[in-house]
Structure 1
Amino acid sequence: MNIDGTPTRTLRAHPGTRVIDIIDQTRLPHALHWVRVGTLDEAAHAIRAMQVRGAPLIGATAAYGLAIALGAAADDAGLEHAFDLLLRTRPTAVNLQWALTRMWQRLQPLPPGERVEAAWREAAAIADEDVAQNLAIGRHGLRLLRQVPRRHGSVLNLMTHCNAGWLATVDGGTALAPVYAAYDAGLPVHVWVSETRPRNQGLLTAWELAQHGVPHTLIADNAAGILMREGRVDAVIVGADRIAANGDVANKVGTYLKALACADNGIPFYVAAPRPTLDFDLTDGRYIRIEEREAGEFRHVHGIDAHGQPSALQQLPDGEAVANPAFDVTPARLVTAIITERGDCPASPAALQALYPEESHG
């Protein structure tokens, strides 16, 4: 993606100095601020505190976090400690487990003296593959979007939830990759962006769409249904944090409600995700662990004050009981198609196996 005309990835690696730079997404959309990560604890904090967000970017950050950790301790104990610490940071996004497992399989057989250089190479490969996969998702998704009937004039009105764009990946995005491809191809496109409470990741989507010039409108989460009912939404496209072998999709909480509204109004509901988000070891979505985040995220509203400084406003008393699930699961029957780097397919075990025959466990 371009920022002020400059091609930019969300993660910058500096192998020579054994550090990475990340965008602190907790500061967006009010400020674009880069943070240097040079220790294992800093990498774990970046993931846990949501300075980096989105399943693909979490995976890439964890891979680099492991590489950084080995600079301090590359023996078996150091490798195992870093692996375990990073794995515990976020439980739902399978890309985290996938990236760390891939790093482990590459590094564990090597002598400790060879692990550091190999770790940085493998982390770079994971990052580069993410970018290539997202570009392919964009191409396949564009083909589908060209076929979507337009209900409200000539403009293709899309809706998304949370942030599954450039900021959620190393570059390119998942759910937004087809949107950017459509816009760049000259399709008249407009995006309804839901705010995605309580962390308001929709604000990040609006920020990056504005950076790319894509027309969009930010809405409250609860406004999605009426827009669909009024015929002002042609398709919904979201990302995913984990997709089970049967096509059930875990994504940011609120996704399930949008899928239900799509089903009631005959609107296509697409899920865009690369291979690392598919969990062929999980038979269905009932077994996906849903992350419960701390209550303070719900009790406070974050923004900037009249002086442009970051500020938090408490909206609930401390004693008020709060539940804060970060994700929900949309059953496969509500998903029109899953868009991956290999193409699109129905959300069914047979279709996913046909797309990835090497994953057959039979």
Structure 2
Amino acid sequence: MVLEAIRFKGETASGQNVTPASLEILDQLLLPHQTTFIPITTCQGAHSAIKKMQVRGAPAIAIVAALALATELSNEKQAGSLLKTARKQQDEIGRRLDYLKTSRPTAVNLSDAIGKLKKVVETAASEPDASPTTVVAAYLQAAEKMLEDDVADNKAIGEHGAQWIKKHTTAGVRRTSNPEQPLQVLTHCNTGSLATAGYGTALGVIRSLRSNGMLTHAYCSETRPYNQGSRLTAYELVHDEIPATLVTDSMAASLLQREGQDVAAIVVGADRVAANGDTANKIGTYSLAVLARHHGVKFLVAAPRTTIDLATPSGKEIVIEERAADEVTRIKGPRIDTDGKVLVEHFPATINIAATGIDVWNPAFDVTPASLIDGIVTECGVVEKVDGRFDFEHIFRK
């Protein structure tokens, strides 16, 4: 069973009574030591959860933002506190969406979702019989559909990526002809159920390879300084019982050198893909792409079409978020006894690991040039370079 990180219930009717929508998210700051769901009832709550990284991952951020506003509007409708006209309700929804957009600037999925939802409410408000209630109803339906579509898109991404690796990598071809041959994949950061509405993008490719009997072993990097790989991806791999090994970020080169062509590919996610294929992803992705090229390992980016930003010409125009210094100088986790048992009363503990007063540079993302990327896996298929260039126009026509 794939891990569930977003719990959303739409409005339900029983006779004359209507139960408002509700949203809960798995608090990723407490993973892997505690599994705690927290309710999100307002846009302010969602903004805070995204900013603090209680929820993270470009697709998940967009979904949680959309559903948080849906939950807030549903409760306001039941309380009879909607605005007086359809146009005023449209403007208010737009204002709240703009506020949610400020929570994380690098990921394009959020701004894409907000643009689509604004169009939905604008259309609803333009109807001859429009009312605040009909505008809100149109928003609720669109937000719920985003949740459903994201899961379906992730599964399609997983299957397309798995088939590409099977056909276009040395390890994939060898294992297809001889099931005794190994096929390994390395991934970075977290791109699974915790980063999406479910199943995952890059981790979805790993899940699909495993379900198809192709994957023999997965590797995940720790992803310093926030440790999404060691805390979250490792958590999902253990949950799904996928054979896997955690490595520190600095071990990747030695791993590729040791395993050789048994490593079929490095598969990562993306927070934004520029029109030329340059990709912004979690810090450390660029160095993995350089290592992959040196060792002859395929490098794939797995992301839905909503992550591809045709309005951004190249990676030079992508704004890179910089985060607090204490993410680098301190670590959080549970205290344990001599037997490794978590001492809950001391959770979480914060420990300083750097010299006090040292300056820190902490970019959350880096940009991998398109020249180092072999393919970008979308729900419509794998986009490869033609004459050295990526062209995404055809997948948007689909």
In the other structure, the counterpart of 1:118 is 138
Cα distance in 2 for residues equivalent to 1:319 and 1:197: 20
List gaps (5 residues or longer) in structure 2: 12-18, 77-81, 84-88, 126-130, 337-342
Distance in 2 of aligned mates of 1:60 and 1:138: 19
**Aligned residue number for residue 41 of structure 2:** 38
For residue 10 of structure 1, the aligned residue among 6, 10, 15 is 6
> Which of 101, 105, 126 is residue 115 of structure 2 equivalent to?
101
What is the count of residue pairs matched by the alignment? Answer: 354
Q: Which contiguous aligned blocks of 4+ residues in structure 1 show a shift greater than 4 angstroms?
A: 71-74, 347-350
Distance apart, 1:205 and its partner CA: 0.6
Letter in 2 for 1:22: I
CA distance in structure 2 between the aligned counterparts of 1:226 and 1:342, rounded to whole angstroms: 34
Which has the larger displacement, 115-124 or 344-353?
344-353
State the shift of 1:218 in Å: 0.4
Cα distance, 1:170 vs structure 2: 0.5
Please list, as runs of the form range in 1=range in 2, the aligned pairs for 1:214-293 lying within 5 A after superposition.
Answer: 214-232=242-260, 233-293=263-323
Q: Would you say the 8 A contact 1:69–1:78 is kept in 2?
A: no
Give a deviation string over 1:161-188, Cα, whole Å, max 9, x none. 0001111110110001121111111224
2:29 alignment partner, SS class:
coil
More displaced stretch, 76-85 vs 30-39: 76-85
Contact kept? 1:11, 1:170, Cα under 8 Å? no
Match of 1:202? 229
Of 50, 59, 64, which residue of structure 2 is paired with 1:47?
Answer: 50
CA distance in 2, matches of 1:190, 1:244: 31
Find the aligned partners of 1:83 and 1:158 in 2 and give their Cα distance.
38
For 1:156 and 1:302, the matched residues in 2 are separated by 34
Deviation at 1:145, TM superposition (A): 2.0
CA distance in 1 between counterparts of 2:112 and 2:356 reads 38
- Normalised by the length of structure 1, the TM-score is 0.92
Q: TM-score, normalised by structure 2?
A: 0.84
Deviation at 1:312, TM superposition (A): 1.2
User: 2:15 maps to which residue?
Assistant: none
Q: Is the 8 A contact 1:69 1:82 kept in 2?
A: no
1:337 alignment counterpart = 375
Tell me, yes or no, if the aligned pair for 1:70 and 1:78 is still in contact at 8 Å. no
Instruction: Note if contact 2:222-2:228 (Cα within 8 Å) is conserved in structure 1.
Output: yes
The 8 Å contact of residues 153 and 379 in structure 2, kept in 1 or not, is answered as yes
Distance 1:101 1:313 in 2: 41
Paired residue type of 2:214: L
Letter aligned with residue 116 of structure 1: V
Alignment-mate amino acid for residue 355 of structure 1: I
C-alpha distance in 1, partners of 2:90/2:157?
A: 37
* 3-state SS of paired residue (2:259): coil
Which of structures 1 and 2 has the bigger CA Rg?
A: 2
Change (3 A) 1:331 1:30: same
Distance (whole Å) between structure 2 residues aligned to residue 251 and residue 317 of structure 1: 28
Q: Counterpart of 2:93? A: 79
